[in-house]
Amino acid sequence: MGLFTRATSRRPAAPAQSLNASDLPPGTVLGGVTLARALGRGATAVVYGGIDAATQEARAVKVWLPTPGDNADDASARERFLQEARQAAALAHAGIVRVFGSGSQAGLTFIVMELLAGSTLARYVSTEHRLPEPLALDIAAQLAGALAHAHRQGVVHRDVKPSNVLFDLATRRAVLTDFGLARAPDAQASRSGVFLGSPVYMAPELLAGQPPDAQSDLYALGVLTYELLAGRPPFEAASMGALLRSVAQSPPPSLASLRTDLPPAAAERLERLLAPLLAKQPAQRPADGQAWAANARQTVQWLMSAANATNAG
Q: Is residue 9 part of a domain?
A: no
Residues 135, 260 within the same domain: yes
Q: Is residue 1 part of a domain?
A: no
Single-letter amino acid code for the residue at 45 = A
Residue 68 has pLDDT above 50, yes or no: yes
pLDDT in tens, 124-134: 998 889 999 99
Average pLDDT over residues 249-269: 95
Greater model confidence, 196 or 45: 45
Residues 297, 224 within the same domain: yes
CATH number at residue 45: 3.30.200.20
- The catalytic site residues sit at 159
- Contacts with 186 (C-beta within 8 Å, 6 or more apart), sequence order: 211
Residue 189 has pLDDT above 80, yes or no: no
* Number of structural domains in the chain: 2
Mean pLDDT computed over every residue of the chain: 85
Model pTM?
0.84
- Separation of alpha carbons 147 and 206, rounded Å: 18
Residues 91, 127 within the same domain: no
Percentage of the chain with pLDDT > 90? 62
Residues 110, 124 within the same domain: no
Residues 131, 101 within the same domain: no
CATH number at residue 178: 1.10.510.10
Last-in-domain residue among 56, 86, 114? 114
Which pLDDT score is estimated for 5?
A: 37
Last-in-domain residue among 88, 114, 140? 114
Which pLDDT score is estimated for 197?
A: 58
- Separation of alpha carbons 247 and 285, rounded Å: 15
Residues 141, 274 within the same domain: yes
Residues 102, 163 within the same domain: no
Greater model confidence, 71 or 267: 267
Q: Using 50, 70 and 90 to split pLDDT, how confident is the model at 73?
A: low
Average pLDDT over residues 216-239: 95
How many other CB atoms are found less than 10 A from the CB of residue 263?
14
Q: Using 50, 70 and 90 to split pLDDT, how confident is the model at 309?
A: confident
Contacts by 281-285, CB closer than 8 A, 24 or more apart? 282/203, 282/205, 282/213, 282/215, 282/216, 282/219, 283/215, 285/215, 285/218, 285/219, 285/222
End-to-end CA distance of the chain: 48
pLDDT in tens, 5-24: 333 344 444 454 557 888 89
Q: Is residue 70 part of a domain?
A: yes
Q: Is residue 203 part of a domain?
A: yes
Last-in-domain residue among 73, 96, 114? 114
Least confident of 21-30, 139-148, 166-175: 21-30
Residues 196, 242 within the same domain: yes
Q: Is residue 108 part of a domain?
A: yes
Residues 236, 162 within the same domain: yes
Residues 93, 146 within the same domain: no
Q: Using 50, 70 and 90 to split pLDDT, how confident is the model at 65?
A: confident
Average pLDDT over residues 148-154: 94
- Separation of alpha carbons 79 and 83, rounded Å: 6
Residues 242, 213 within the same domain: yes
Domain encompassing residue 68: 16-114
- Separation of alpha carbons 252 and 270, rounded Å: 13
Which pLDDT score is estimated for 186?
A: 42
